[in-house]
Chains A and B, each alone.
Chain A
Amino acid sequence: MRIYLDHAATTPLLPGAGEAWQVAARTVGNASATHSWGREARRITEESRERIAAALGAHSGEVVFTSGATEADNLAVLGMAEARRQADPQLNRVLISAVEHPAVRLGAAELAARGFEVTELPVDSQGLLRLGVLSDALRRNPKGIALLSCLWVNNEMGAIAPIPEIAALADSYGIPLHSDAVQAVGLPSITFAAATLPGLSGLSISAHKIGGPMGIGALLIRRDAPIVPLTYGGGQERRIRSGTVPVALIAAFAAALDEVVLKRELQYESLRQLRNTLSDGLTALGANVIGPAHPNHQAPHILYAIFPGVSAETLLMLLDQAGIAASAGSACSAGVIQPSETLLAMGYTPQDALSGVRFSLGWTNTPTDITTLLQLLPDLLTRASSV
C-alpha cells in the first residue's frame, strides 16, 4: 500500500500532459528557426502559450516561460524592482509578506544586499496578510515602493491571501503587485485577467505542481510592466528571458493547465471533502490543524497539522515506512528539518514548527487514502512519541 500525500511538493503527471509531451518531443526544430521544422516547433509553443493564457484569463503576450516558479519569482522580484529603480532611483523599497516562499523571500534578501529597503508585512495567527496591515503600511509611508509581492496560496498551510483586494489597494497607490500563485492554480477564482485585476502585474506558476512536467513554469507579466532580465542571451521570451524554449515541456504544461482549469470546480469540491475528513480525523487524534478556518481563506489541498510532543522527523520516517508520503512543509538543509519561517511568522514556537507535518492532496487521492491514513496514525503517533 502506498499513499501519496505530498502533492504540494509535486503532483503526478496527468496522463494528458504525458501524451502531449510525447507528441511534441518528436518535433525537431528550434522554435526560433525560420525553416519548416522551426515553424512547427514555434506553432506548438505559441498554441500552448495561447492555451495557458486563455486558461488564466491572460493575454498570450503576457506569458513568459521560465524553468519553473523559482526562476519566475526571481525574475519578477529582482527584475521588476531593478527596472523600477532604474527608471526612478527613489523607488528603492520592496514590500513582501512574512510568509513568502524562499524564491521570493531570498530574492528580496538579494535586493536588500543591493541597497533596497525590504519590509516584511506581518501575518496573523492564521497566516493571512490582513488588508489593514497593508493599508496602514502604505498610508504611513507610501513613497518609494518599487514592488509588492504576496503569495496567493501559502505553500505550507494553504492560507489564501485576498489578492484581489491587495491588488486594488496596490493599484490605488500605483505600486505593481507580484504574486506567487504556484499553489493557487486549482482555485476556481484565480485569474490574471487585466480587466478583473488591473493591479496585478506579475504572477508565477509552475507546471509540475498541477500535473505537468518538472522544468517548466511561467511568469505572467503585463506587457507594459517594468522589468529587466536576469540572464542574458538570445532574448527568446520577450527579451526578458533567454534560452531555447523547451517545446515539449511547454506543450505538456499547457495540456496539464487546460485539464486542471477545466475540472477545477469539481476537483475543488472533492479535495475539500477529503480535507475536511482528514482535518476532523487529525483533530480527534489530538493534532492541531493550523491555518484559516474559513473555507474562503483555506486552500482545499493543503493541511498542516502540529502533533504536540512528536518529532516531525520521526513521524515522517514512520509514515514513509508505512508507505505514506507527507512532508515537513518547510525548507530542509541537508535533509534536516528547520523550523518553518512561515510558522514562526504566524506566532508558533520552533518546538511547534518541528512537530508539524504537511499533508497535501491531489488528483490521485481517494477517500480510502484518508481513512487508511487515519487508521494507521494512532499507532504511528504512539511510536513517534516514545522517541
Chain B
Amino acid sequence: MARLIAALSGGVDSAVAAARMVDAGHEVTAVHLALARNPLLHRAGSRGCCSLEDAHDAKRVADKLGIPFYIWDFSEQFQHAVVDDFVAEYAAGRTPNPCLRCNERIKFAAMLERAVALGFDGLITGHYAQLEQDLDGSVALYRATDGIKDQSYVLGVMTTAQLQRSYFPLGGSHKPEVRAEAARRGLLVADKPDSYDICFISDGDTAGWLAGFLGSRPGDIVDETGQVLGHHDGSYRFTIGQRKGLALNRPAPDGQPRYVVGIDAAARKVIVAGREHLAVQTLYCGEPIWCSPAQYGSWEGAVQVRAHAPEIPATLTATPDAVVVELHSPVLGVAPGQSAVFYQGRRVIGSATIIGTTPAKPASV
C-alpha cells in the first residue's frame, strides 16, 4: 500500500483513475490544482479545465470515494512556467504545446515535489499511458492500449525519476470502458465532455487571446522570393501549415493554395508558399529529456510531432544537447517550438523541442 496523491481535474478520467487506486487498497488523497488566476464559473463546452465548476466536480468525486480533498494553488507557477512561456514562444515565432509544459513544470514537477515533500509516495493521474517495469527494475513509459486516447505524447517530457513516482491506472483501458465504469461507480462526471483545447484560453480563440498580450505588431506576408503578397497584424497569429485567414491580395501563379511555411518574428515576416514547401525531412531538436536511459548515438525509432498525430519512422542521432531526426518519409507543417517525442515500438524514449527543420526534396513529396 502506498500513500498517493490523486490529481483530480474534475473530469471523468482522473476520477476513475483515483477510484481504481482506492480499490487497490492505496491510501489516496485527492488534490485539485487551481491553475487559473481568475477561474471561470463554469466550463464552456470542451474548453477549460479549472473552472469553479470543475473544482466542485472534483470535490464531489472525492466525497464519493470517501477520500480527503484539497486544492493546491499553483496559479502563480502556472502563469510563469506555462502561460508566460506560451506567450513568449508565440512572440518569438514558435508554436509551443502548453500541455507538455504543464506536465513538465507543474504536474510532475512542482506538484509531485510538493507531494513527496509532504510524505506521499507518488502521484496518480488519469492520463492514458502505460508504465511497465524493466528487467532492471526501472519504470518505462509506453503508449496506452486505447490508440485514440493515447496521451504518451504529452508525457514525453517526464524523466525516469518522475515516472518512478507516477501512476497511470487508465493506460490499459479504452475510453468508453472508463465512462461506463464511472457511471457504474455513480460518479456524476461520467458524461462530462472531454477537454481538448488550451485550458487557459476559454473561448478557443488563441490569436485573439495572444493579441491581448502582444498587441498589434504589423508586418508583411511574403512569398519564398521575398515578394510582398499581403499584410498581417502580428506574426503570432499564424502557425506553420496554416492556410486560412491569410487574406493575400494576389493569387499564386499556379493557382494553388498557399500555406504559411515560415515565421520570422524578428523581421515581422510571415512566409507563404505552395503545399510542397511544407514538407520537412529533417528535424533539429534541442534540450532532450529522456524517459528512459539516454540513448546517444544513432538509432532507429519513430517520432511524433503533435498530440494525436501519427508517428513517423526515423533515424535519430542524439547527443546530450541535441537530437537530429532523419524522417523516413517527409511530414507536412512542422513548426519550431513543437515537441518531438521519440518512440521505439510502443515505448517512449524521450522528447526534445524542435528548433529547426530542413525541407524535403520536392521529388520525394
Binding site for B on A (CB under 8 A): 313-314, 317-318, 320-321, 333-337, 383, 386-387
Q: Tell me if B68 and A321 are in contact (CB < 8 A).
A: yes
A334 surroundings in chain B (CB, below 8 A)? 34, 39, 50, 52, 55, 71
Query: Would you give the shortest CB distance from A379 to chain B, in whole angstroms?
Result: 11
Q: Tell me if A335 and B34 are in contact (CB < 8 A).
A: yes
Query: Would you give the shortest CB distance from A377 to chain B, in whole angstroms?
Result: 16
Query: Would you give the shortest CB distance from B42 to chain A, in whole angstroms?
Result: 12
The interface bits of chain B over 114-125 (1 if a CB of A lies within 8 angstroms of the residue's CB, else 0) are 100111000000
| CA–CA, A317 and B120, complex, Å | 13
Q: Tell me if A336 and B117 are in contact (CB < 8 A).
A: no
A314 surroundings in chain B (CB, below 8 A)? 114, 118
Q: Tell me if B73 and A313 are in contact (CB < 8 A).
A: yes
The verdict on B72 contacting chain A, using a C-beta distance below 8 Å, is yes
The verdict on B209 contacting chain A, using a C-beta distance below 8 Å, is no
Extra contacts, 18 of them, besides A334-B52, A335-B70 (Cβ < 8 A), are A313-B70, A313-B71, A313-B72, A317-B70, A317-B118, A318-B118, A320-B70, A333-B39, A333-B52, A334-B34, A334-B39, A335-B32, A335-B34, A335-B55, A337-B73, A383-B117, A383-B119, A386-B117
The verdict on B315 contacting chain A, using a C-beta distance below 8 Å, is no
The interface bits of chain B over 9-29 (1 if a CB of A lies within 8 angstroms of the residue's CB, else 0) are 000000000000000000001
Q: Which of A320, A321, A335, A337 has the most CB of B within 10 A?
A: A335
Pick from A336, A383, A387: contact of B34, CB under 8 Å = A336
The verdict on B75 contacting chain A, using a C-beta distance below 8 Å, is yes
Q: Which of B29, B59, B73, B119 has the most CB of A within 10 A?
A: B73
Query: Would you give the shortest CB distance from B251 to chain A, in whole angstroms?
Result: 51
| CA–CA, A336 and B50, complex, Å | 12
Show 7 residue pairs from A and B whose CB-CB distance is below 8 angstroms, ordered by the A residue: A317-B70, A317-B118, A321-B29, A334-B34, A336-B73, A383-B118, A386-B117
Q: Name the residue on A nearest B71 (C-beta).
A: A335
A313 surroundings in chain B (CB, below 8 A)? 70-73
Interface residues on B, range: 10 to 19
| CA–CA, A317 and B68, complex, Å | 10
Q: Which of B55, B71, B75, B113 has the most CB of A within 10 A?
A: B71
| CA–CA, A295 and B336, complex, Å | 65
Give the dominant DSSP class at B's interface: mixed
Binding site for A on B (CB under 8 A): 29, 32, 34, 39, 50, 52, 55, 59, 68, 70-73, 75, 113-114, 117-119
Query: Would you give the shortest CB distance from B35 to chain A, in whole angstroms?
Result: 10
A336 surroundings in chain B (CB, below 8 A)? 34, 71, 73, 75
B75 surroundings in chain A (CB, below 8 A)? 336
Q: Which of A313, A333, A336 has the most CB of B within 10 A?
A: A336
| CA–CA, A320 and B118, complex, Å | 13
Q: Name the residue on B nearest A317 (C-beta).
A: B70
| CA–CA, A333 and B52, complex, Å | 8
Pick from B39, B73, B118: contact of A387, CB under 8 Å = B118
Please list the 6 inter-chain residue pairs (A to B) with the smallest Cβ-Cβ separation, ordered nearest first.
Answer: A335-B71, A336-B34, A336-B73, A334-B55, A387-B117, A334-B52
| CA–CA, A317 and B75, complex, Å | 18
Query: Would you give the shortest CB distance from B31 to chain A, in whole angstroms?
Result: 9
Query: Would you give the shortest CB distance from A316 to chain B, in whole angstroms?
Result: 8
Query: Would you give the shortest CB distance from B66 to chain A, in whole angstroms?
Result: 15
Query: Would you give the shortest CB distance from A384 to chain B, in whole angstroms?
Result: 8
Query: Would you give the shortest CB distance from A20 to chain B, in whole angstroms?
Result: 31
Query: Would you give the shortest CB distance from A328 to chain B, in whole angstroms?
Result: 11
Using known A-B contacts A334-B34, A334-B55, A335-B55, determine if residue A387 contacts B71 with beta carbons closer than 8 Å: no
A387 surroundings in chain B (CB, below 8 A)? 113-114, 117-118
A333 surroundings in chain B (CB, below 8 A)? 39, 52
Query: Would you give the shortest CB distance from A177 to chain B, in whole angstroms?
Result: 35
Query: Would you give the shortest CB distance from A378 to chain B, in whole angstroms?
Result: 16
Query: Would you give the shortest CB distance from A330 to chain B, in whole angstroms?
Result: 13
Query: Would you give the shortest CB distance from A385 to chain B, in whole angstroms?
Result: 10
Q: Name the residue on B nearest A338 (C-beta).
A: B73
Query: Would you give the shortest CB distance from B101 to chain A, in whole angstroms?
Result: 21
| CA–CA, A321 and B68, complex, Å | 8
| CA–CA, A317 and B70, complex, Å | 7
Q: Tell me if A320 and B68 are in contact (CB < 8 A).
A: yes
A320 surroundings in chain B (CB, below 8 A)? 68, 70
| CA–CA, A383 and B72, complex, Å | 16
B68 surroundings in chain A (CB, below 8 A)? 320-321
Q: Name the residue on B nearest A354 (C-beta).
A: B73
| CA–CA, A320 and B70, complex, Å | 10
| CA–CA, A317 and B69, complex, Å | 9
Query: Would you give the shortest CB distance from A1 to chain B, in whole angstroms?
Result: 16
| CA–CA, A156 and B71, complex, Å | 21
Query: Would you give the shortest CB distance from B48 to chain A, in whole angstroms?
Result: 12
Query: Would you give the shortest CB distance from B99 to chain A, in whole angstroms?
Result: 21
| CA–CA, A6 and B345, complex, Å | 56
Q: Name the residue on A nearest B73 (C-beta).
A: A336
| CA–CA, A321 and B59, complex, Å | 16
B72 surroundings in chain A (CB, below 8 A)? 313
Query: Would you give the shortest CB distance from A81 to chain B, in whole angstroms?
Result: 29
Q: Name the residue on A nearest B119 (C-beta).
A: A383
B71 surroundings in chain A (CB, below 8 A)? 313, 334-336
Query: Would you give the shortest CB distance from B238 to chain A, in whole angstroms?
Result: 35
Query: Would you give the shortest CB distance from A336 to chain B, in whole angstroms?
Result: 4
A337 surroundings in chain B (CB, below 8 A)? 73
Query: Would you give the shortest CB distance from A327 to chain B, in whole angstroms?
Result: 13
| CA–CA, A383 and B114, complex, Å | 10
| CA–CA, A379 and B353, complex, Å | 42
Q: Name the residue on A nearest B115 (C-beta).
A: A387
Query: Would you give the shortest CB distance from B63 to chain A, in whole angstroms?
Result: 14
| CA–CA, A387 and B113, complex, Å | 8
B55 surroundings in chain A (CB, below 8 A)? 334-335
Query: Would you give the shortest CB distance from A31 to chain B, in whole angstroms?
Result: 36
B73 surroundings in chain A (CB, below 8 A)? 313, 336-337
A318 surroundings in chain B (CB, below 8 A)? 118
Q: Which of A318, A334, A335 has the most CB of B within 10 A?
A: A334
Q: Which of B55, B68, B118 has the most CB of A within 10 A?
A: B118
| CA–CA, A320 and B73, complex, Å | 17
B114 surroundings in chain A (CB, below 8 A)? 314, 387
